[in-house]
Structure 1
């Protein structure tokens, strides 16, 4: 005899009002209707087991428990004698999720977002969850400014109790900021204030930056930037009264209105230091950037508190607390500041941890760290450590954190985290010219060989002009004190007959040498080297007369012992994305006495970076080169200086500036070289802290003079232009578009130049 005790949830809800059956002892439990769900799952949720007494109350609890799993859309309980039969109808499973008409998002990325709210393939279909997911898709579109987007979800039944979900999207156009109004600005023009905003009205570059698309986060950042603008100019009582964001009826235009109260401008009446001043008062005073009588600037005050905190950090007080409290005199429009200094406890470093270096060995990083374990915390040494690790050039990003050790008050750990980048490179140099069309050169270099910090380079160039086979190896820590040693071996052949702009000659050289780098300070290194070179020279009938005169006087085969020496001081903070510091380098080489080539070459370079803002850096670069012969010998003409092209004066063909042969009009190079330039480097708009792309605007200048020519600045050639450096997934790429000026008709111009490579 079969008896249906309860059917569906409705019966379960009212089961307590009327008894549907007499209580009985369960001898068997069966489950029917399952397709995907395991029977054990049902047994786990049932509040009764075999051998127990089944009652109305337990039946109601069983149905509620099974419905609560979300696996079933109907549940019935029947009895057959002393057996309990649970009959279920499963909800369908989601077989697929698709998006139709979607262009603004990556579909896989959106599937992941839906999975976070509970909707994913192979999961049980729940219509309530479908509505929630539909709202999530709309929210994703709203976050990108698609306020007119329409999202409709459809459910398609499939075989084997499955469904396919499809989100049909009508994206429409992105809503753009039509107007930004600042109400209440009296001291500054609205145009000047809007320049500090990231959000902008549509302009010529906003198609790329997307800054004409409204974002709540960007607006919050802009309001803080506006506040900083006023506070840095003395308006201590500045306040944003309200903001209104409205959208047009067609949901295409957004209007932003910001109401502000500027207040009055305050000057600084006095600055006092108070608290536990561990260092002499005079030393603290040097760090104070805010001076009495000046207009108040929050930027200067923040710089002051940070400088004091950093200085205490250099003495081991890692958790120093420095705060400035103002006292306002509204009648006089003056503010008096008291800077309270609380150094806290002096701490020392328990452990230095290095993470993120999957390939690079720990020792390569640790030998650059100047902070020692078990020593007093030193903020300057920690900053220097981060800079030295960054300057290795092996990492895209280097971060240093100093968390306190749990359970202690006087210990910290130093956590150095690096993000490795490919350090091997296959470089291709390329340029366009009217004479040679596309010119290519190649080289292979591995800067971090097997993660050891050693570098190995191989250059192979088999062009018609230059045939180069060279190998170089450098061990930056040949000794534990940081003395480096390197070896170079090369075979070079140059035949300029195929060039229309350089004087013709054919030269072949083979040689090798050793070089050492000796550190004499934290940022100073002396370089010493010696090499042996064997060169043979061959001229043609079209070679310049001065070349033929050199061969007549000195012969065409030369064996030379070359000595080199140099000094480098490098304080630049990063190899990848420099923002501050300078590099000063002097280098010279000489054909040593006893050989048939007696010459010298000396070069001096100075390069400096200044941070203008967080995203803008100003760079100056200058180079001077001098060369000549000694002991009645002339400078070998293949040791001449050249200029023009990427690396010297952009906008001019490579190596074409300077003296020309009067017969062929080809470049001869010179004995003196002057190159310089200024460049404004930017972070790529819209890319946040991404350091892989760096555009710039530049001014280049330079020239080369021959032995008999007088050096005159009026001979300098100039160019201005834009450039782009990109560490792309394919490798480093440099691009420049230049406009030469103060050039002469005989100059060879090359406005578009680029260099590209691939990394491994």
Structure 2
């Protein structure tokens, strides 16, 4: 779809349309501002006889001062005024645009100037527009002298109406109607209304190429933006006719043949016809293909700066190959970029072809013109009203006083965009006056909101209604530091968090941060084994970049976790707690990780890789000694201009490294049966009031029941889970993997496992909305959770396929997916439609 013009382009177009109006003689202005079109007005002079002006009087002024009149009037006291001078005076006053009528009269030798002021614009209203934003239209009007409070000029309004009609015609909307109206108010004011009926864009019903013999029409039209009406046109809108779009497609047609060696190719004619109702368009183009040319020779001349062999190795076209302008441009760009990286900012490669039409060959001479080697004198930052220059400067890979490097600037742009503080980042080179070997690099940014105050609601099928208060600032006081305070309450958790991160604690990029949090979780509403947990932690985090894309990180902290179990808690969890004879787990925790991020855009990546591996372990002296190893991988593959493939995988494994703990529990069976049997009864996680350190439990007693329980492997509260919007879509959150029954007649509950395997293939399509933050996709997800490594069975992997939409809306992030489970088991809980609102993707 053709992109709408930005505000500046629209204003320029309207200015050009109005230029001629400003150059018309004053007498051509309309005497009636409410007339349908301009009507000529003749100068009004009561006495044609010349006289010497002894004084000047001005009548009819309301808003405009007499001083303004005298400024523009080319007559002063003592001048002799004749008919020619009177006409010139009237023209001069008309040219100001302030008056709809001007009269000159004579009373004795006093010149009387009688004026009727044009009305002032009280309000401007635009209705019915969708293709062109109201803000852009208003700014276009304002920049051309039509804004609220300005003097109304009907001719300006008429010219803008014509220009808007032209703009809509260029978008294929030939039924668009622009109807301006002016309403007179008291005190010489008017209200201006521009009513727009855009109508529908004409659809392309047929495209016909005449003269193509070497290539099929379908192959040629495959990369056109314009397309015949098809079943996907409602989504892609490629059948909407646009003059600009067709012009671009004809250029693509020319490139298609030149890239395949047809140097003599020509578009002989282009015909666009329209149905009587102006709704259907028919496009026809006549072609002359010519013959295919091969490359007879390739040579590199000029001052290559770099070793000539190095430059010649960059040449992709070889002798005997089919000529291709695209490959030739890639070669030129490669040479120019290589020279730009060593300081030759204005290097050029001139392509000089030698065409032999008799032999159908072309010789190519690549003439390298490096220009002067350029040094960067200053780097100037503009547009950063909140962010300090230092925050931007530390992301720059181009340095002042060093040779100009295009690669360094490109990398600097990626790093600045990655901060998330700027909506746009652009670089400009400004030559230094008086020298040709220095430039100033100007970094122009447009800042975006980098902080938020959230007091609102969110919803997901897992957590239900979520209330949240969060104050966060990713660019605290413009320093680049990140501060966040959050309180959140949902169906299954209460959460309180504070975090701080200084990404440049040291000049070498070492980051330092702190996390404090407290969480109260009710896992019975979390689609997992039923128990409650109250946990808190204090942590310190470190990060150190080792390359442009690689970072190592670490964490050290202490935490506590109190488990509250009940009779509805699965037996393996109760046994684990009973074996350790404690419900409160303390840990000294350490994490170490490595990550690599080379994606091209943090919001909507289309190429690059993001992978991370990290080890989490508790240190000796913790209640439970264990480790967890995690690895995640995501790679984006640009399949075409409109299609991106994302391959994703996530692996997790955990285990204990301390000795297993075994403990015997003995107690008397209550009335109703033996605990743990089908007859119901007590709870083995309830230890005796006075725990005994050795077996038997209590000497001299005869317990009705003795149970030996063991705590080994990864603690149950650290188990991995899978299923849900962020894992394997189409399955209820956290429900995949091992399940246990708390009693013989109870339903099974997911308890997670020590091994997690999840993967996905996802195709991202062009956005349905005019926003880079919205991405529709089609996906295939697979994965499962296993008790341990020995339990892994590829045949147990679950799989699903579906469609998804991720959208960072103004109200918060929204993720919606519809999935069809492909591989399921009887106890699996499926959920085809899943969504979250107000959480992270």
What is the CA-CA distance between 1:252 and the residue it aligns to? 2.5
Alpha-carbon distance in structure 1 between the residues aligned to 2:245 and 2:512 = 51
* From 659, 678, 703, the counterpart of 2:761: 678
Contact preservation (8 Å) 2:43, 2:90: no
The answer to whether the aligner puts 1:649 opposite 2:676 as a matched pair is no
Could you say if the C-alpha distance between residues 100 and 666 of structure 1 is closer, same or farther in structure 2, counting changes exceeding 3 Å? Answer: closer
3-state SS of 2:540 partner: strand
3-state SS of 1:642 partner: coil
* From 655, 662, 667, the counterpart of 2:750: 667
* From 175, 198, 201, the counterpart of 2:228: 201
Unaligned runs of 5+ in 2: 1-39, 661-711
What is the CA-CA distance between 1:542 and the residue it aligns to? 1.9
Could you say if the C-alpha distance between residues 632 and 268 of structure 1 is closer, same or farther in structure 2, counting changes exceeding 3 Å? Answer: farther
Contact preservation (8 Å) 1:683, 1:691: no
Correspondence for 2:584: 557
What is the CA-CA distance between 1:636 and the residue it aligns to? 0.6
Contact preservation (8 Å) 1:430, 1:753: no
The answer to whether the aligner puts 1:274 opposite 2:301 as a matched pair is yes
The answer to whether the aligner puts 1:512 opposite 2:538 as a matched pair is yes
Unaligned runs of 5+ in 1: 1-7
Alignment deviations for residues 515-572 of structure 1 (CA, whole Å, 9 cap, x no partner): 2113333332222222112222222112222112211222222222112111222223
Correspondence for 2:213: 186
Contact preservation (8 Å) 1:47, 1:62: yes
Correspondence for 2:107: 79
Alpha-carbon distance in structure 1 between the residues aligned to 2:559 and 2:814 = 33
Correspondence for 1:4: none
The answer to whether the aligner puts 1:526 opposite 2:607 as a matched pair is no
Could you say if the C-alpha distance between residues 107 and 516 of structure 1 is closer, same or farther in structure 2, counting changes exceeding 3 Å? Answer: closer
The two structures have a TM-score, normalised by structure 1, of 0.88
Could you say if the C-alpha distance between residues 309 and 41 of structure 1 is closer, same or farther in structure 2, counting changes exceeding 3 Å? Answer: closer
* From 571, 588, 600, the counterpart of 2:598: 571
* From 379, 384, 398, the counterpart of 1:357: 384
3-state SS of 2:435 partner: coil
* From 826, 830, 837, the counterpart of 1:745: 826
Alpha-carbon distance in structure 2 between the residues aligned to 1:38 and 1:489 = 68
Alpha-carbon distance in structure 1 between the residues aligned to 2:88 and 2:783 = 90
Deviates more, 1:442-451 or 1:121-130: 121-130
Alpha-carbon distance in structure 1 between the residues aligned to 2:839 and 2:571 = 42
Alpha-carbon distance in structure 1 between the residues aligned to 2:517 and 2:116 = 80
Contact preservation (8 Å) 1:393, 1:576: no
Deviates more, 1:245-254 or 1:543-552: 245-254
1:171-570 equivalences under 5 Å are 173-207=200-234, 209-292=236-319, 294-330=321-357, 333-425=360-452, 426=454, 430-432=459-461, 445-499=472-526, 501-555=527-581, 556-570=583-597
Alpha-carbon distance in structure 1 between the residues aligned to 2:148 and 2:485 = 51
Alpha-carbon distance in structure 1 between the residues aligned to 2:647 and 2:337 = 28
3-state SS of 1:307 partner: helix
Contact preservation (8 Å) 1:321, 1:343: yes
Contact preservation (8 Å) 2:380, 2:443: yes
Contact preservation (8 Å) 2:817, 2:833: yes
Correspondence for 1:732: 813
The answer to whether the aligner puts 1:704 opposite 2:789 as a matched pair is no
Contact preservation (8 Å) 2:459, 2:838: no
Could you say if the C-alpha distance between residues 486 and 279 of structure 1 is closer, same or farther in structure 2, counting changes exceeding 3 Å? Answer: same
Could you say if the C-alpha distance between residues 385 and 218 of structure 1 is closer, same or farther in structure 2, counting changes exceeding 3 Å? Answer: same
Alpha-carbon distance in structure 1 between the residues aligned to 2:191 and 2:457 = 50
The two structures have a TM-score, normalised by structure 2, of 0.80
Alignment deviations for residues 16-59 of structure 1 (CA, whole Å, 9 cap, x no partner): xxx954x6544333333444543334444544433444555544
Could you say if the C-alpha distance between residues 134 and 653 of structure 1 is closer, same or farther in structure 2, counting changes exceeding 3 Å? Answer: same
Contact preservation (8 Å) 1:504, 1:543: yes
Deviates more, 1:479-488 or 1:447-456: 447-456
Deviates more, 1:385-394 or 1:361-370: 385-394
Could you say if the C-alpha distance between residues 399 and 746 of structure 1 is closer, same or farther in structure 2, counting changes exceeding 3 Å? Answer: farther
Correspondence for 1:694: 775
1:69-218 equivalences under 5 Å are 69=96, 71-80=99-108, 82-89=109-116, 110=137, 112-114=139-141, 131-151=158-178, 173-207=200-234, 209-218=236-245
Alignment deviations for residues 577-621 of structure 1 (CA, whole Å, 9 cap, x no partner): 323332232100112123231111001222223333455433222
Could you say if the C-alpha distance between residues 752 and 416 of structure 1 is closer, same or farther in structure 2, counting changes exceeding 3 Å? Answer: farther
Deviates more, 1:91-100 or 1:663-672: 91-100
3-state SS of 1:360 partner: coil
